Amino acid sequence: MAGKKLQAITAHLLAANLVPQQKFESWMEEGRIETASKNLGNGIRISRAEYDAVIVLEEYNGDAALVFALVTTWLMENDSSRFDDDMPEPQIEVTPIDAQSVDVEITIRFFENVDLVPDDNGPISYQGQRYAIATVPVDEPSQVAVGDNKELPTDAPYNRAD
């Protein structure tokens, strides 16, 4: 869902107490929506949002490496598909304020899928059905067969042990 990554990295950086909360800002800009219509079984991928997350730390006087590490480790753990999607690296702009502090502006490009699940009370009407924005649940098969000749080892059914 669009904006979830921005919200999550914002919460992560706020929790690090880099600056007082009133000196911290984040917002979304340069957004673009790519229409999609992909059946996911239990729902539909309706679009993909692309945007820049902008995060500003005002009057930061800590170690720059800490900010870099917090951003990088969060991306590695929470947005690992960015490498497959060939996303640009985060941009960081530092503006000196005085001898002890700087303003830090971080810009991170994100992609986020917008998925719909059927919901009789959902706010979205699409192709005669009601939907809500949510993560589409994935059904995991417990049994798989490759072919129809059980005499062949490649066609034998596979049963997952739970």
**Does residue 1 surpass a pLDDT of 60?**
no
Quote the pLDDT of residue 153: 65
For 103-155, what is each residue's pLDDT tens digit? Answer: 999 999 999 989 999 999 999 999 999 999 988 888 777 766 667 776 776 66
Higher pLDDT pick, 84 / 15: 15
Q: Which of these, 39, 28, 30, lies nearest to 4 by C-alpha position?
A: 28
Quote the pLDDT of residue 31: 92
Q: Which residue segment(s) compose the domain that 134 sits in? A: 4-159
Q: How many domains does the chain fold into? A: 1
38 and 44 Cβ atoms separated by less than 8 Å? yes
Higher pLDDT pick, 158 / 32: 32
For 59-100, what is each residue's pLDDT tens digit? Answer: 999 988 999 999 999 999 999 888 888 889 999 999 999 999
How far apart are alpha carbons 29 and 135 in whole angstroms? 24
